[in-house]
Structure 1
């Protein structure tokens, strides 16, 4: 008996001699007026716990139901957690916070997910996983369970972007049935109140380099007679917005570098004279747009650096070794020197153009020839000021805090 007690204490991270009953798995269901299907979901979850002899609990995170959902949950022995803040994410955050289990499984209370098929999730957690995602595309999506727009466009595109942005091999980023170590997920500090909570969990888990795994699961048509809470375009945009906010390299850096390099090639290539490509002739008017591309691109690159630095300060992601080296080298002083050199060079070009105009008696000149000097001069002046201002803002972010 003593050996068994010690083994249990070690398994559940209990203090030696603590004989309080351990909860291995908490099954959390967000709920807002789910009276039609809630009872069936609770029964399936409880049957799963009984069938596999798992010490567990069923939690209904209620968002203010008025259709009798709370009474149904109470009658079936589920634990009700009242969450006044509205939203899918808010309800789940409240339910996870109140959970007593070492592991938590979450799923919608609309009978679209099979709470009796949680064993693969739990096995993966027992084997060391931190977050176990369901994959509906591998397990099977029943006819009518997912709108075609979600099935063939929304979910595949957002999942692809999630994999590309954050390097996680998850094939179904937005599956609502998933399980995780409670302490690992709570440490991420999840805050999204809406449907984007599903993305936030995976993104932050990937950034924190948690052990993320995936198992097949199924999706059935939900059993409710009313429309779902999900709003296709609104919630799809909120998911995309969240992914972009947490991926400043893809939002700012890569587009900025592409624009700046393309524009720089255009400006430098047109300084000697017009260029003909087939039947198309590129001249000083093209140079204006090329200079615009350089300005926009450099602004995006600067925003990328500032966004990355802010994210580190705010605890959104750890600082990479590359960014640390860049920050140590790219001081405010060095940036001001570089910006000052560009500004002086640009002003020098502007003065040279003015002197050339003066030598012609301030009369008519070849406008194309003049613009080949003034456009690069203007560009250097703008880049010089922009570099210095960006450096000072970065220095402001790095100021010590109490």
Structure 2
């Protein structure tokens, strides 16, 4: 085995995946150089896992359905200092995560989120955007963070994320990450990212029903009482 094969990747990119065979080639072609793509198959029936493996990704299987379950399985499988998350539906370019990770490494933020900026009409359905805005306002009230989006694109240090002890395994996972990071005193920031027309139909916010379920899961997270969490520096050094 070569030295390069033994070295950890510059970052691990977690890509939760449920029937994204059409989008995977586009997504994986844009993974930053030196990064490892961790595709978490959450019960696909369209050959997504086989396609991802053939394109060089590490494939992890998570039998329990749920966005949070897939994301957390990817976090547990990560081994790099930095872990990034991105949807696997070609709605966001994974290549944008490299400069985001650089900002975290430089100490500008402990958790950096991608604020979605729709590219064209109909990219972000009105019901999904309304639900996101409502949750962002509730998040500000709960944490004081002036964020505008709770989107899935984000990056942070792996050990610090593990120290948050995330428990949600459904749609509330991304919000719980932000809430617990805020409670721990992290620097949480956001940066604009283009939001493109996704490939296929959304499993979460493509319908009013899906959006309602996501908002319900996230409201439950916001109802959690603040807890005492170690700071990112303490978690990394522990």
Q: Smaller-chain TM-score range?
A: 0.7 to 0.9
Give the Cα–Cα distance (whole angstroms) in 2 for the partners of residues 223 and 192 of structure 1.
26
Give the Cα–Cα distance (whole angstroms) in 2 for the partners of residues 91 and 41 of structure 1.
17
| Offset of residue 140 of structure 1 | 4.2
Which residue matches 2:190? 214
Is 2:4 the counterpart of 1:24?
Answer: no
**Contact 1:90-1:194 within 8 A present in 2 as well:** yes
Is 2:227 the counterpart of 1:317?
Answer: yes
Give the Cα–Cα distance (whole angstroms) in 2 for the partners of residues 58 and 119 of structure 1.
13
* TM-superposition CA deviations, 1:2-37 (whole Å, max 9, x none): xxxxxxxxxxxxxxxxx9413221111001111111
Query: Secondary structure of 1:170's partner?
Result: coil
Structure-2 change in CA distance of 1:240 and 1:79 (3 Å)? same
Which residue matches 1:96? 75
| Offset of residue 228 of structure 1 | 2.9
Which residue matches 2:88? 109
Residue in structure 2 matching 1:171, options 114, 139, 148? 148
**Contact 2:14-2:40 within 8 A present in 1 as well:** yes
Query: Secondary structure of 2:27's partner?
Result: helix
Query: Secondary structure of 1:44's partner?
Result: coil
| Offset of residue 317 of structure 1 | 0.3
Give the Cα–Cα distance (whole angstroms) in 2 for the partners of residues 127 and 78 of structure 1.
27
Give the Cα–Cα distance (whole angstroms) in 2 for the partners of residues 227 and 206 of structure 1.
28
Query: Secondary structure of 1:218's partner?
Result: strand
Query: Secondary structure of 2:37's partner?
Result: strand
Query: Secondary structure of 2:112's partner?
Result: strand
| Offset of residue 141 of structure 1 | 4.4
Which residue matches 2:114? 134
| Offset of residue 246 of structure 1 | 2.1
Aligned length: 220
Is 2:169 the counterpart of 1:189?
Answer: no
**Structure 1 residues without counterparts, runs of 5 or longer:** 1-18, 50-54, 248-315, 320-402
| Offset of residue 204 of structure 1 | 0.4
**Contact 2:110-2:188 within 8 A present in 1 as well:** yes
Normalization by structure 1: what TM-score? Answer: 0.52
Higher helix share: 1
**Contact 1:101-1:182 within 8 A present in 2 as well:** yes
CA-based RMSD of the aligned residues comes to 1.8
Which residue matches 1:159? 136
Higher-Rg member (1/2): 1
Which residue matches 2:232? none
Residue in structure 2 matching 1:122, options 101, 104, 120? 101
**Structure 2 residues without counterparts, runs of 5 or longer:** 230-238
Looking at both structures, which has the greater relative contact order when contacts are Cα pairs under 8 Å and sequence separation is at least 6?
2
Give the Cα–Cα distance (whole angstroms) in 2 for the partners of residues 179 and 160 of structure 1.
22
Give the Cα–Cα distance (whole angstroms) in 2 for the partners of residues 69 and 87 of structure 1.
17
**Contact 2:204-2:214 within 8 A present in 1 as well:** no
Higher strand share: 2
Is 2:42 the counterpart of 1:67?
Answer: no
Give the Cα–Cα distance (whole angstroms) in 2 for the partners of residues 117 and 240 of structure 1.
29
Residue in structure 1 matching 2:177, options 198, 201, 204? 201
Give the Cα–Cα distance (whole angstroms) in 2 for the partners of residues 232 and 22 of structure 1.
37
